[in-house]
Amino acid sequence: MFRQITETVFASPQIDVDMIAEAKALGVIRIINNRPEGESEDQTPGDAIETAARAAGIDYVAIPVTHAGFSQAQVDAMEQALDVEGPVLAYCRSGTRSTLLWALARAKAGDSPAVIASKAAGAGYDVSPVRQLIEMLSAGR
What's the CATH number where 114 sits? Answer: 3.90.190.10
Integer Cα distance of 134 and 127 in angstroms: 9
> SS3 for the chain, per residue?
CCEECCCCEEEECCCCHHHHHHHHHCCCCEEEECCCCCCCCCCCCHHHHHHHHHHCCCEEEECCCCCCCCCHHHHHHHHHHHCCCCCEEEECCCCHHHHHHHHHHHHHCCCCHHHHHHHHHHCCCCCHHHHHHHHHHHHCC
For residue 133, how far is the Cα from the chain centroid? 17
For residue 9, how far is the Cα from the chain centroid? 8
The pLDDT value recorded for residue 141 is 65
Q: Indicate whether this model's pTM tops 0.85.
A: yes
The pLDDT value recorded for residue 69 is 86
Structurally, the chain folds into a number of domains equal to 1
The pLDDT value recorded for residue 139 is 87
- Rg for the chain, CA atoms, rounded: 14
Name the residue range of residue 134's domain: 3-140
Question: Could you list the pLDDT tens digit for every one of the 141 residues in the chain?
Answer: 899 999 999 999 999 999 999 999 999 999 999 999 989 999 999 999 999 999 999 999 999 999 888 999 999 999 999 999 999 999 999 999 999 999 999 999 999 999 999 999 999 999 999 999 999 999 876
For residue 108, how far is the Cα from the chain centroid? 15
The pLDDT value recorded for residue 121 is 98
